[in-house]
Structure 1
Amino acid sequence: MPFETQPASDPLGRAAAPEPGSVADVVRTWNARADLYLELFRHELDGKPFDRELLAAFAARLGTRARVVDAGCGPCGHVAAFLAEHGLDVLGVDLSPRCIELARLEQPGIRFEVTDQRAVAPAVNDGPLDGLVSYYSLHDQPKREIPDTLAAWAAAIRPGGRLLVVAKEGAGDGVIDDPLGTGVRVYWAEYSEAELRSAAEVAGFVVDELTARDAYDDEIRARRIALSATRR
């Protein structure tokens, strides 16, 4: 399907749509589809053994009570809850107020805040983070912004702390019809292993492991890339 990179013009002179991939655009698109996403994915980890092992290994490397942010936690809060079950002190952040509202209802024992994932440091008041997880949170922003995003994460994580990024593999970078079928036009960025590795290393991380898996039967047809790294 075709990718677009510019907001559509309005011949009637109404307020222009937010710039694709901007903060306002992410809020707009996720507020619109948060409820459906929760319905579809609240139990997704139950059927994804690779993902559970990945997240459990991340938690084990950090140890009990390590302070971690789930960046772009979405409405389910399921990744944050999984990490908390494995002993971590987790804060879930998301730009969408509707996502945070639903996540708080879904996971009442976890902390969630409306925060830009690129501004996690101000949301955390007790010193540098021990780690950060980005579970499919990079596809909402243009790929040109990934260096700044990873640099912000590096600034928020202590030396020796850990980063886990999971993203869909591909070359797409633009606006498409929502793959969930909501009818909403959404920004969609995909990444290669080389792009993720380069961005992480430039930001100040040492890449420890870079793995990939094929899509499960009920997933969008794209391989999943998982990058595990340590803050220099």
Structure 2
Amino acid sequence: MSETLSPPPGSAASVAHLWDARADRYLELFRHELADKPHDREVLAAFAGRVGPGGRVCDAGCGPCGHVTALLAGHGLDVLGVDLSPRCVELAAREQPGCRFAVMDQRDVTGGLDGLVSYYSLHDQPKRELPGTLAAWARALRPGGELLVVAKQGDGDGVIDDPLGTGLRVYWAEFTPGELESAARAAGFTIGEITVREAYEDEIAARRIYLTATTRHP
């Protein structure tokens, strides 16, 4: 009898499997997280303002809450939330019935977008995949398209005990501002602004990085 091999940690199959298993717990903890994050709401609103009403935007790695998708839609954007996990997409569609969601790898979004938001969607994959992910996003955006990346600051890059307390082992990658900036420039982005804030009292104790950028015109 042959053994069933587990997918490599940080692979798309592994991420989808683990998020299917932890989506309900995440929703329980973070359903209303943006209500207590004024800085994040301001950053997302500013992104929406740069894109402009009706702009086609992808919320890459929308998770089970769908709250970023809903916030951006509330600012007049045409938003699609995508996630590898079918359970995340199922829950997000239930939580935000007026929004659109699809099961999709965040690197497979289609071209011609006016904007893309990655709100903590990079920490599930190994850091070595960052250049390829940003290159895929650059291809998906029109010239002058807007990018917003939010990520946790640090040096982590490997499998750890799930910070959500599920008992699972999950892939966890953190970044420095310099790493995000260098990878974005190499992918063809012009950097707008990079800011860092301290963690709020009820968050995981890591600084948050906010990177804005635009795709270069040909």
TM category (shorter chain) comes to over 0.9
Partner of 2:200: 216
Q: Which residue does the alignment assign to 2:105? A: 116
1:65 corresponds in structure 2 to 54
Aligned counterpart for 1:134 among listed residues 118, 123, 146 = 118
Partner of 1:37: 26
Unaligned regions of 5+ residues in structure 2, if any? Answer: none
Corresponding residue for 1:7?
A: none
Residue 28 (structure 1) shift? 1.0
- Indicate the residue corresponding to 1:6 in structure 2: none
Report the Cα distance in structure 1 between the residues aligned to 2:23 and 2:30, rounded to whole angstroms. 10
C-alpha deviation, 1:17, in angstroms: 1.6
* Residue of 80, 92, 97 corresponding to 2:69: 80
- C-alpha displacement of 1:19: 0.1
CA deviations over 1:41-79 (Å, ceiling 9, x no partner): 110000000100000000001110000000000000000
Which residue does the alignment assign to 1:4? none
Counterpart Cα distance in 2 of 1:189 and 1:20: 12
What residue in structure 2 maps to residue 18 of structure 1? Answer: 7
Q: Name the CA distance, whole Å, in 2 between partners of 1:17 and 1:215.
A: 34
Deviation at 1:132, TM superposition (A): 0.1
Give the 4+ runs in structure 1 shifted more than 3 A: none
Which residue identity is paired with 2:68?
A: V
Query: Match for 1:166 among 137, 143, 150?
Result: 150
Aligned to 2:83: 94
- Match of residue 178, structure 2, among 194, 210, 215: 194
Give 5+ residue unaligned stretches, structure 1.
Answer: 1-11, 122-126
What's the secondary structure of 2:109's corresponding residue? helix
Work out the percentage of aligned pairs sharing the same amino acid: 71
Q: TM-score, normalised by structure 1?
A: 0.92
Amino acid in the other structure paired with 1:92 = G
The residue type paired with residue 88 of structure 2 is: C
Q: Name the CA distance, whole Å, in 2 between partners of 1:17 and 1:213.
A: 37
Per-residue CA deviations over 1:119-153 (Å, capped at 9, x if unaligned) read 011xxxxx600000000000000000010000000
User: How large is the Cα RMSD of the aligned pairs?
Assistant: 1.0
Q: Give deviations 1:140-186, integer Å, cap 9, x for gaps.
A: 00000010000000000001110000000000000000001000100
The one of 176, 187, 198 equivalent to 1:203 is 187
Distance 1:173 1:14 in 2: 28
1:9 maps to none
| Count of aligned residue pairs for this structure pair | 216
